[in-house]
Amino acid sequence: MKSTLGKRALSSFVSLFVLIVLVFFLSRLTGDPAALYLPVDASEEMRQNFRELHGLNDPVLVQFGRYLADLAQFDFGESLRKARPALDVVLEAFVWTLKLALITMTLVTAAAIVVGSIAAFQVGRPFDRFASVLSLIGASAPDFWIAIVGIVIFSVNLAWLPTSGTGTIWHWVLPISVLFIRPFGLILQIVRGSMINALGSPYVKTARAKGVKNGPVIFVHTLRNAMLPVITVIGDQAAALLNGAVVVETIFGFPGVGKLMIDSILQRDFNVILAAIMVTAVAIFIMNILIDIAYALLDPRIRA
């Protein structure tokens, strides 16, 4: 188990470093920040002073070396837009994204396990067919289309829900609903398939032969053994939520790290872009470690 976690940590560190290199150099291709942050009629001397102040006059390789040296001291630089430490700006936004992802994945996991388990127990019956169609639609529907349709129906036509902000619980309904649909469809499919396999295993047949009721058969004897592939998909979908919330947060004006990255790219706030990428990558790395630990708890063979 320790060797597995060590390998995971090493591969994550290498991936993170490659990501930093790519984002650092690609972000520099978006243009000169001085053109955005100074007036149109600013003199060349003012532009040079601005670049000098923010270390943008040096060659890109020199800038990169300086950035790595600062990063080794956990200094992520300063946001050009907000004149504050970039990490503070990102963490404030990341808290919103984390809340959104946690609420969504909690609802998704609970609903998918319940619906998938019942569908597996009723294979071929109307509920199973309904669940299969529901999961197929959910896994196929694009988030941006669902978000736009949701705004048109529930915000514009019915005027039931707000389109942006976080002030009340109603502001969260549309973003959570849109993010809910795709992972629910995917996890539901895996739960159903895994439960069908587990229900056909000898230990379940023995439990039924002993007269164990359907509820304990599903949720005690079968579910634990069916959870290994489900945990993998849940982890993948949770990571996808952190990465994929960009579209939903932008459409609904949700103040998360996804929207922050888009705004920072458009405004050439390089330090915030890099800090957002790193915070998200570290969060996904921690999530993968937790999945490995959950695997070990469910399957003792993995602990060896």
Q: How many CB atoms lie within 10 A of CB 31?
A: 10
Q: What domains can be seen in the chain, in order of their start residue?
A: 2-71 (no CATH), 87-303 (1.10.3720.10)
Look at residue 214 in the predicted model and tell me its pLDDT.
60
Q: Which tokens go with 12?
A: 């994550």
Instruction: Give the count of beta carbons closer than 10 Å to the beta carbon of residue 209.
Output: 8
Amino acid at 179: L
Q: What's the confidence (pLDDT) of residue 89?
A: 92
- CA dist., res. 67 & res. 72, Å (int): 9
**Closest Cα partner for 251 from 174, 141, 157, 154?**
174
Q: pTM for the complete prediction?
A: 0.80
pLDDT of residue 58: 81
- pLDDT band (50, 70, 90) for residue 91: very high
Mean pLDDT rounded to a whole number for the chain? 82
The token pair that represents 168 in the structure block: 């009340």
Strand partners, 78: 85
Over residues 113-146, the pLDDT tens digits come to: 888 888 888 888 888 898 888 888 888 888 888 8
Cβ(302)–Cβ(228) below 8 Å: no
Tens of pLDDT, residue by residue over 228-269, are: 778 888 888 887 787 767 788 888 888 888 888 888 888 888
98, two tokens: 């984390």
- For 95-130, give one letter per residue: b (16+ CB within 10 A) or e: ebbbebbeebbebbbeebbebbbbbbbeeeeeebee
> Which comes out higher in pLDDT, residue 29 or 208?
29
Q: In this prediction, what percent of the chain has a pLDDT beyond 90?
A: 10
Write down the pLDDT at residue 108: 92
List the one residue out of 273, 228, 301, 297 whose CA is nearest residue 27: 273
- Phi/psi for 227 (5° steps) reads -80, -20
- Main-chain phi, psi angles of 149, to 5 degrees: -60, -40
pLDDT at 13: 80
How far apart are alpha carbons 181 and 186 in whole angstroms? 9
Residue 215 is predicted with a pLDDT of 59
- Structure-token match 């532009």, residue found: 47
